[in-house]
Amino acid sequence: MSIRYTFGGDEFLFAEISESMSLPAFFASMAITSKLRQLQWPGIVEICPANASFQLRFDPDILPAEQLLRQVQQLEQSLADSPQILDTRLVEIPVWYNDPWTREVGARFRQRHQDPQASDLEYAARVNGFASVDAFITAHSGSPWLVSMVGFVAGLPFMYQMVERDQQLQVPKYLSPRTATPRQTIGHGGCFACIYSVEGAGGYQMFGITPAPIYDPAQRQPYLADSMVLFRPGDLVRFKPIDQQQYQAAIQAVAEGRFALDIFPVRFSLPEFLANPEAYKQSLPGTHHAH
């Protein structure tokens, strides 16, 4: 895997690890950017990991561009054979699939959709070869997702499903963006899932909604006590289907500032996962063991 480096103006260095998203490319990005944070080189202003790339902002008066490039390339070489292990956490996110709010918004924007006669879930199920919406939801919630980057708007996670490549759920974005998307909508575009952290415009297909705030500057929920943003790159996520009654109970708990998420510490090994994704998925902690 050869990284392509390019400069953006006088203050940015962009590193493209791969033209397409893959778990090995993501791990290469995480290894380098995590090490850069530990090293705290004078002159590096900001470190921004992404799906299969990363970008550095630097102060050229402290760290000249060519020196930075040389040091990063040396770091890349030193980490080439490092263990592909990530100490992270698994976060279970409750989801009311096929909820009335995302259905209503979807209905308002059908003229911008590939299939105006179908709902987003019906369309996604059909183009992915599932016989029913329920079968699609089972696949969507049946395997964990990896948070590959956080951004676009505050707190929004992009997630890549941890399955064999030929099992990846893929669905195009709307033909043209909506001007509305409910806050905490579970979205999907290409091979990436997301959770809309705030209400606003959007183009991803809408599958459901979670009662769990994932971005809150007031930090009113216990799991947001340390940060107003829930997710960070490298988190694992499992979607947990809930019904209307469970959703309403959760919303009441959110209003009272006592909503809790199930979060488990995990040491994730990429080689072990790639050797047998299905067995590795079953070895992860969480409430799926209760079913």
Domain residues of the chain, as ranges? 4-82, 87-283
Architecture of domain 4-82 in this structure: 2-Layer Sandwich (3.30)
Query: Which of 135-139, 236-240, 246-250, 285-289 shows the lowest per-residue confidence on average (mean pLDDT)?
Result: 285-289
- Going by pLDDT thresholds of 50, 70 and 90, the confidence category of residue 19 is confident
- d(C-alpha 242, C-alpha 94), whole Å: 6
Query: Which of 78-87, 190-199, 241-250 shows the lowest per-residue confidence on average (mean pLDDT)?
Result: 78-87
**What's the pLDDT at 288?**
59
Mean pLDDT for the chain? 94
Q: In the CATH hierarchy, which fold is given to the domain comprising 87-283?
A: Cyclophilin (2.40.100)
pTM score, whole prediction? 0.89
Q: Is the pLDDT of residue 5 over 80?
A: yes
**What's the pLDDT at 291?**
44
The pLDDT of 28-52, averaged and rounded, is 92
Q: Is the pLDDT of residue 289 over 60?
A: no
- d(C-alpha 17, C-alpha 256), whole Å: 44
**What's the pLDDT at 184?**
98
Phi/psi of residue 142, nearest 5 degrees: -85, -15
Q: What would the DSSP string read from start to end of 156-220? A: PEEEEE-S-GGG---BPPPSS-BS---TTEEEEEBTEEEE-SSS--B-SEEEEE-SS-SB-TT--
**What's the pLDDT at 38?**
93
- Chain segment 219-235, per-residue pLDDT in tens: 999 999 999 999 999 99
Of 194 and 28, the one with more pLDDT: 194
The pLDDT of 205-227, averaged and rounded, is 97
Percent of the chain with pLDDT over 70: 98
**What's the pLDDT at 96?**
98
Q: Is the pLDDT of residue 35 over 60?
A: yes
